[in-house]
Structure 1
Amino acid sequence: MNDVLAVSGLKRSFTQGEETIHVLRGVELTVAEGEIVALLGPSGSGKSTLLQAVGLLEGGFEGSIRIAGEETARLDADGRTRVRRDSLGFVYQFHHLLPDFDAQENVVLPQLIRGARTDVAQERAAALLAALGLRRRLTHRPSQLSGGEQQRVAVARALANRPALVLADEPTGNLDEATANIVLAQFLDLVRGEGSAALVATHNERLAAKMDRTVRLHDGVLES
């Protein structure tokens, strides 16, 4: 089985006044095709910094990040945008849906940006939302949806372009426990059904136990 993500020697430091803060200290990580990995660590441990690096959302990192076999360190801004569009999906703690678009349109839009036909994108969006229990909510705008429903739309949007790797940063952290359990179960089922891999940052041991493997971020390095 091939690795969809291979991180080697990843470092990130910040300077505050005369002090240098080392957030990542040579992280080594692989995620295989179809594997769901929990990234466990307390708040402030650097989980989001690691996801931002892997998601090619921020510069200033040292080391190697290979996504779907491609070394990203050599890419320019257009190349990084291409990898994010074609190989990655993102789910955040807050849904970040477009408020003026309904649920289906929010899932259609990233497909259109990638060049899909409108009818194909609409069919794909409807199928993903139906799989998440939102068949009757396609034309509802975010303000008309509950928090759990909004996060389900965000999950569908992340998977719309069939990414090789989904990056999720505390994807149920803004939900009550009962809703979080439902949304996480649906997220895991859908990711597995789509054949994508996922790296899911969480501080919740119980949720992490539902994934294929857990790695822990401690003092800037990962421990299995």
Structure 2
Amino acid sequence: MNEPVIRLRNLARSFEQGGVVIDVLRGVNLEIAPGEVVALLGPSGSGKSTLLQAVGLLEGGFRGSIELAGTSAQDMDAAERTTMRREHLGFVYQFHHLLPDFNAEENVILPQLLLGVKRAEASERARELLGALGLDHRFDHRPSQLSGGEQQRVAVARALANRPQLVLADEPTGNLDEKTSDRVLAQFLELVRGQGNAALVATHNERLAASMDRVVRLHEGVIERETPAAMPR
């Protein structure tokens, strides 16, 4: 049996606000297998974004254990966390966060260059991903020249550019209309599954969650229950 891409044990996170301690995560246990797409479902304030920040090694202050790609994150310094993110993780956010002065192809090339990929190879990979997302006519367009759905598809291509073992998506279609949202999510899932990536997708949308392999429901900082997705692939 393959080892999980990510393994969380008793993960907890608290914040102090006005002298009051607020427990945002209260002992989360979760494993995601290679190639598995998991929906993280819960209302606003349930701890979804905080959990993604933990899994993404974006900040410290967490209690419990995080094991990514077989490596414990507990004693990593900032530089080691950055290396782990660059080599093993991809990120898609509700807002695309594309670099405005670079075109679509360049936005997908840049993370590869940071990993040491040669420019020609990075360009080929960028064009392959953008083409698979229906953007082969948009390579040289800057974000301001793209629609919202097109911008988010560039963000998906960027997240997958370095072939991450785990893709983290925080409400990746939350800023899109329903039709565009369905199209972007379908293309995202097709690419992720085609490449064998694992993914953890935070959403509050039951309909979108049903298209994934497993649904994990987070409530007040704990996993309330896990269920198979309702819709067959």
Task: Please indicate the TM-score interval, normalised by the length of the shorter structure.
Answer: over 0.9
Task: Give me the whole-angstrom Cα distance separating, in 2, the residues matched to 1:43 and 1:202.
Answer: 9
Counterpart in the other structure of 2:104: 103
The residue type equivalent to 1:102 in the other structure is N
Task: Give me the whole-angstrom Cα distance separating, in 2, the residues matched to 1:73 and 1:18.
Answer: 27
Task: Give me the whole-angstrom Cα distance separating, in 1, the residues matched to 2:67 and 2:87.
Answer: 14
Counterpart in the other structure of 1:129: 130
The answer to whether the 8 A contact 2:45-2:220 is kept is no
- Secondary structure in 2 aligned to 1:192? helix
Task: Give me the whole-angstrom Cα distance separating, in 1, the residues matched to 2:115 and 2:11.
Answer: 29
The answer to whether the 8 A contact 2:94-2:174 is kept is yes
Counterpart in the other structure of 1:56: 57
Counterpart in the other structure of 1:195: 196
CA deviation after TM superposition for structure 1 residue 20, in Å: 1.0
1:150-208 Cα offsets, whole Å, 9 max, x none, are 00000000000000000000000000000000000000000001110000000000000
Counterpart in the other structure of 2:179: 178
Q: TM-score with structure 1 length normalisation?
A: 0.99
Q: Over aligned residue pairs, what C-alpha RMSD do you find?
A: 0.6
Counterpart in the other structure of 2:139: 138
- Secondary structure in 2 aligned to 1:135? coil
- Secondary structure in 1 aligned to 2:67? strand
Task: Give me the whole-angstrom Cα distance separating, in 1, the residues matched to 2:18 and 2:135.
Answer: 49
CA deviation after TM superposition for structure 1 residue 101, in Å: 0.3
1:81-135 Cα offsets, whole Å, 9 max, x none, are 0100000000000000000000000000000000000000000000000000000
Task: Give me the whole-angstrom Cα distance separating, in 2, the residues matched to 1:135 and 1:196.
Answer: 23
Counterpart in the other structure of 1:117: 118
Task: Give me the whole-angstrom Cα distance separating, in 2, the residues matched to 1:100 and 1:72.
Answer: 34
Task: Give me the whole-angstrom Cα distance separating, in 1, the residues matched to 2:142 and 2:43.
Answer: 34
The answer to whether the 8 A contact 2:91-2:168 is kept is yes
CA deviation after TM superposition for structure 1 residue 12, in Å: 0.4
The answer to whether the 8 A contact 2:109-2:123 is kept is yes
CA deviation after TM superposition for structure 1 residue 18, in Å: 2.5
Task: Give me the whole-angstrom Cα distance separating, in 2, the residues matched to 1:73 and 1:130.
Answer: 39
Counterpart in the other structure of 1:15: 16
Q: TM-score with structure 2 length normalisation?
A: 0.95
The answer to whether the 8 A contact 2:42-2:217 is kept is yes
- Secondary structure in 2 aligned to 1:201? strand
Task: Give me the whole-angstrom Cα distance separating, in 2, the residues matched to 1:14 and 1:63.
Answer: 15
Identity over aligned pairs, percent:
71
Once the two structures are superposed, the pairs formed by residues 24-63 of structure 1 within 5 Å of their partners are 24-63=25-64
- Secondary structure in 1 aligned to 2:43? coil
Structure 1: which 4+ aligned runs deviate by more than 6 Å?
A: none
The answer to whether the 8 A contact 2:108-2:158 is kept is yes
Unaligned runs of 5+ in 2: 227-233
Task: Give me the whole-angstrom Cα distance separating, in 1, the residues matched to 2:195 and 2:5.
Answer: 14
Counterpart in the other structure of 2:3: 2
Task: Give me the whole-angstrom Cα distance separating, in 2, the residues matched to 1:95 and 1:12.
Answer: 26
Task: Give me the whole-angstrom Cα distance separating, in 2, the residues matched to 1:60 and 1:75.
Answer: 12
**Paired residues, number:** 224
- Secondary structure in 1 aligned to 2:5? strand
Unaligned runs of 5+ in 1: none
CA deviation after TM superposition for structure 1 residue 2, in Å: 2.0
CA deviation after TM superposition for structure 1 residue 44, in Å: 1.2
